[in-house]
Structure 1
Amino acid sequence: MSQLQDNFGRRFHYLRMSVTDVCNFKCSYCLPDGYHPTGKQHFLSLSEIENLVSAFSQVGTQKIRITGGEPTLRKDFTDIVRIVSDNPSIHTVATTTNGYRLAQHAKEWFDAGLRRINVSVDSLDPKMFYQITGENKFDEVMRGIDAALTAGFERVKVNAVLLKGMNDKDLPRFLNWIKNTPIDLRFIELMETGLGRDYFQAHHLAGADIKAQLQSQGWSLDIADIDDGPAQNFSHPDYRGRIGLIMPYAKNFCATCNRLRVSAKGKLHLCLFTESGLELRDLLQHPDQQAELIERLHAQLAQKKETHYLHQGITGVTQHLASIGG
């Protein structure tokens, strides 16, 4: 089967597969009022996930990130990891989590085949962590990160959304932490969504400001790997950890796009922002639908736009990032 490619020559090696849109945190930039279900929660079943993974593995997907909401809220999360890792064409199995179950399950998930993990930690100040997430679980999450490092994960990343007036003074504390800890720290520029214009205007901080600070302190830009996401990664000879910056408002941010998304209810999203998704679930019911499913994937890639248009103030239809896995 030929690899998924769009009309701009971009090839897609990376799938972000949401398995639930439920989240137990109330992050101020995503779900400030907490999760509110809409209708019955008919998320993808294990058999549907297996058929989805199989189809994507046949069209060049090498990395799958299991996302949410909070993906580990699913009782069968370990089974999902195993389904992905058992596919020989998938070289990298990753997840993004708020870390609340990590301390108890890091070894179990590693043994099931999970190899990379991103943990959201928006501040190293427990009080600010609580203010941003709405949950007093800082110590629990940090124990989870230690457990992941002990379990042997190839790469442990920590995600922090940059928020002016909230965690923007935390950079020295973060840098001190990764001086002797092999963490990949990811600063993510706040993105405007349909529900967040006022919040965005109050708290947006340009990632370019952090980039300038890092470069002035001797951090250098790394060469990207084929399955890397959109982060610009930086390293420093005096630090065990690395830093990545995700700056969606930067020029040509979309030029290296290599990822697609499937929502927890089986819709393909060509972009995080620009469209409401294409139904795939009707073709996830039986393995003998694989050829038709792959044909639909190729047809949809022809519709992918060149950019997300965020820099023009167009947020698209996405109301909050939890709905399709960020």
Structure 2
Amino acid sequence: MLQDRYGRQFPYLRLSITDVCNFRCNYCLPNGYEGDAHAAFLRADEIRRLVTAFAELGMWKIRLTGGEPSVRKDLPELIRTVANVPGIRRVAMTTNGYKLKQQVSSWRAAGLDSLNISVDSLDPRAFAAITGHDKLQEILAGIEQALTLDFSAIKLNAVLLRGINDQQLDRFLDWLRTRPVSMRFIELMQTGDNAQFFDRHHVPGSELVLALHQRGWQELPRTRDGGPAREFVHPDYQGQIGLIAPYSKDFCDSCNRLRVTALGDLRLCLFGDAGTSLRDLLQHDEQRLQLKTRIESQLQLKKISHFLHDGNTGATPHLASCGG
């Protein structure tokens, strides 16, 4: 298993396959995508070599991210490519759900076994205000379809936003009462271009924890390989609650993931200062030993923590740039 100098192990890779996104979420891309939609993102053969090297180093979980992964027409091929790499036990994906209803069956057939869908509000007007798209009902229909396809896990993601969705907890809980999914609330994070938005809308994760306790939810013990999310359960609900609170004390102690951007840069931290390109070593199968050596050597440079508390957001201009 990959391990850094602080003893943290890394079974999990978040692999961006595009930085293009077709939503205009106010906390990420309020003006829409402004990059190069025709950039030369990683090809299927490069992804196979990359994932094979990580698998040989002990990684067993790959999450495909974006931008929005479904904007790539070859997405089923990429899912199949990753799923067929020896040693990979779980292929997950995070999506905004824009094409969920039409394509989720093909993703499942290709080998996707875990799915996260971003749903920042269950109120159609608030959802449209956050994302720039009046697509909530279509996305919810896609989620209901996904629930019939025997995924190992389905999770919904919502970024906590003061004055926008922070008063909608009970609506989310009502939805979870009869659905076996995990609702992940994510603390708004400051990035390179959202400082004013962050100051206006940041909700500390501690506020959600208090609200859950007041409603009878209990926190589960943290597992060694569970990652940074805090999990909550309630006997009257089929669903669970997860909280990702990067401003909480010791958040980075449980870090278990690395990131690779859609152009092949290894990122040791979402809020790190820079990335290291791996792409030159993804062109031939014979480069695998060099690739693994570079990954292992770079991992030893990983810092003990991010520096968000100091206002240092590193090289991340917005969350779509490297998969969130």
TM-score by length of 1: 0.97
Contact preservation (8 Å) 2:183, 2:239: yes
- Show the 5 A alignment for 1:152-171: 152-171=150-169
Q: Which amino acid aligns with 1:152?
A: D
1:27 aligns with 2:35: no
Deviation at 1:226? 5.6
Contact preservation (8 Å) 2:233, 2:240: yes
Residues 29-82 of structure 1: CA deviation (Å, up to 9, x unaligned): 000000012485110000000000100000111110000000011011001111
For residue 187 of structure 1, give the secondary structure of its aligned residue in structure 2: strand
Deviation at 1:228? 3.5
Which residue, 233, 245, 248 being the options, matches 1:247? Answer: 245
For residue 147 of structure 2, give the secondary structure of its aligned residue in structure 1: helix
CA distance, structure 2, for counterparts of residue 212 and residue 91 of structure 1: 36
Which 10-residue stretch deviates more, 110-119 or 225-234? Answer: 225-234
CA distance, structure 2, for counterparts of residue 147 and residue 88 of structure 1: 29
Aligned counterpart, 2:231:
233
CA distance, structure 1, for counterparts of residue 58 and residue 257 of structure 2: 11
1:283 aligns with 2:291: no
Deviation at 1:94? 0.2
Which residue, 41, 44, 62 being the options, matches 2:42? Answer: 44
Which residue, 173, 188, 191 being the options, matches 1:193? Answer: 191
Aligned counterpart, 2:81:
83
Aligned counterpart, 1:268:
266
1:68 aligns with 2:66: yes
1:112 aligns with 2:110: yes
CA distance, structure 2, for counterparts of residue 273 and residue 181 of structure 1: 34
Q: What is the Cα-based RMSD across aligned positions, in Å? A: 1.1
The change in CA–CA distance for 1:314 and 1:292 in structure 2 (over 3 A counts) is same
CA distance, structure 1, for counterparts of residue 225 and residue 102 of structure 2: 29
Q: Which amino acid aligns with 2:114?
A: R
1:180 aligns with 2:178: yes
Aligned counterpart, 1:149:
147
Which residue, 188, 204, 214 being the options, matches 2:212? Answer: 214
Contact preservation (8 Å) 2:48, 2:85: no
CA distance, structure 2, for counterparts of residue 227 and residue 268 of structure 1: 22
Which residue, 295, 301, 304 being the options, matches 2:302? Answer: 304
Aligned counterpart, 1:135:
133
CA distance, structure 1, for counterparts of residue 225 and residue 127 of structure 2: 30
CA distance, structure 2, for counterparts of residue 9 and residue 69 of structure 1: 31
Residues 227-252 of structure 1: CA deviation (Å, up to 9, x unaligned): 53421011111100000000000000
Which residue, 119, 122, 127 being the options, matches 2:120? Answer: 122
Aligned residues: 324
Runs (5+) with no aligned partner, structure 1:
none
Find runs of 4+ consecutive structure 1 residues off by over 6 angstroms.
none
Q: Which amino acid aligns with 1:19?
A: I
Deviation at 1:88? 3.0
Runs (5+) with no aligned partner, structure 2:
none
CA distance, structure 2, for counterparts of residue 21 and residue 28 of structure 1: 16
For residue 150 of structure 1, give the secondary structure of its aligned residue in structure 2: coil
Residues 277-299 of structure 1: CA deviation (Å, up to 9, x unaligned): 10000000011100000000010
Contact preservation (8 Å) 2:124, 2:136: yes
User: Identity rate of aligned residues, in percent?
Assistant: 52
